[in-house]
Amino acid sequence: MNAPSLTALVIDDEVQMRRLLRITLEAANYRVHDADNGAHGLIEAASRRPDVVVLDMGLPDMDGLEVLKRLREWSRVPIVILSVRDGEEDKVAALDAGADDYVTKPFHSAELLARLRVAQRHSQSIDEQALYEYGPLRVDFEKRQVFIKEELIDLTPTEYTLLRLLIQSSGKVLTHRQILRTIWGPKSEEQAQYLRVYVSNLRKKLSAHIGLDKVIKTESGIGYRWTE
């Protein structure tokens, strides 16, 4: 077996769950550290500097959301929530606070590992890249131009900004509030109807070209995700 190339930190108070996650992650070639409460998890995150964190929401000493917020004060490490809480409000709160993804228990190991890989790719930000290419799609960030099969696509400034935001967060769920706040400012956070119109228009312009509209996935009641 190859030496572990990435380090994962599991923060969960259930012994059996930590054992299961250790087996799953080590089989995928992660080096695994774990913590049974929030305070211990924060210490481990600071000392171990993991490549990815798997975080439960129901911890005995503090809520997982508080752990998430504290981690985000100083770290951009990919964080995937793994929780029995399956309500939209819980998911939106975690994603708004900086989680990269949210997986509910019980879970399939293959799905969790896939979500972790996506979160890690997202952390390797494309913010500084001048060019993005996916299939027939090419986005020139410096010139603010979008091409499909070398044909220049006519996007409004807002449509372009939305497309860029989705691409630069590829694989990550962006909540309605996050997108609205980023593009239109904090006073527009409750105006989800604006966002639906622009997403619909953007999908229509992409759909004329090999179904590219399907890369913008709707996360019902939560937001949108750019999928490749």
Q: Give dist(CA 170, CA 47) in Å, integer.
A: 29
Q: In terms of domains, do 141 and 116 share one? A: no
Note down the domain range covering 188: 131-226
| Residue that terminates a domain, selected from 84, 99, 123 | 123
Q: In terms of domains, do 185 and 211 share one? A: yes
| Residue that terminates a domain, selected from 85, 105, 123 | 123
Q: In terms of domains, do 171 and 218 share one? A: yes
Count of structural domains within the chain = 2
Helices first, then strands: H and E counts in the chain: 8, 12
Amino acid 60: pLDDT: 94
Let me know if residue 38 belongs to a domain.
Answer: yes
Q: In terms of domains, do 96 and 13 share one? A: yes
DSSP string, 151-198: EEP---HHHHHHHHHHHHTTTSEEEHHHHHHHHH-GGGTT-HHHHHHH
Q: In terms of domains, do 117 and 21 share one? A: yes
Q: What tens-digit pLDDT sequence spans the chain (228 residues)?
A: 566 679 999 999 999 999 999 999 999 999 999 999 999 999 999 999 999 999 999 999 999 999 999 999 988 899 999 999 989 899 999 998 989 899 999 899 999 999 998 888 766 655 556 788 888 889 998 888 999 888 898 999 999 999 999 988 888 889 998 898 888 877 776 777 888 899 999 988 887 666 666 789 998 889 999 987
Q: Which of 33, 66, 67 is nearest to 48 (CA)?
A: 33
Q: Which residues pair with 49 in a beta bridge?
A: none
Amino acid 26: pLDDT: 95
Let me know if residue 175 belongs to a domain.
Answer: yes
Q: In terms of domains, do 148 and 92 share one? A: no
Q: What is the CATH number of the domain that holds 171?
A: 1.10.10.10
Q: In terms of domains, do 13 and 116 share one? A: yes
Amino acid 209: pLDDT: 65
Q: What is the CATH number of the domain that holds 104?
A: 3.40.50.2300
Q: In terms of domains, do 16 and 115 share one? A: yes
Whether residue 12 contacts residue 64, with contact meaning beta carbons closer than 8 Å, is answered with no
Let me know if residue 37 belongs to a domain.
Answer: yes
Q: Give dist(CA 43, CA 198) in Å, integer.
A: 43
Q: In terms of domains, do 22 and 92 share one? A: yes
Amino acid 182: pLDDT: 86
Q: In terms of domains, do 195 and 117 share one? A: no
| Residue that terminates a domain, selected from 123, 140, 155 | 123
For 196, the token pair is 């639906």
* pTM flag (> 0.75): no
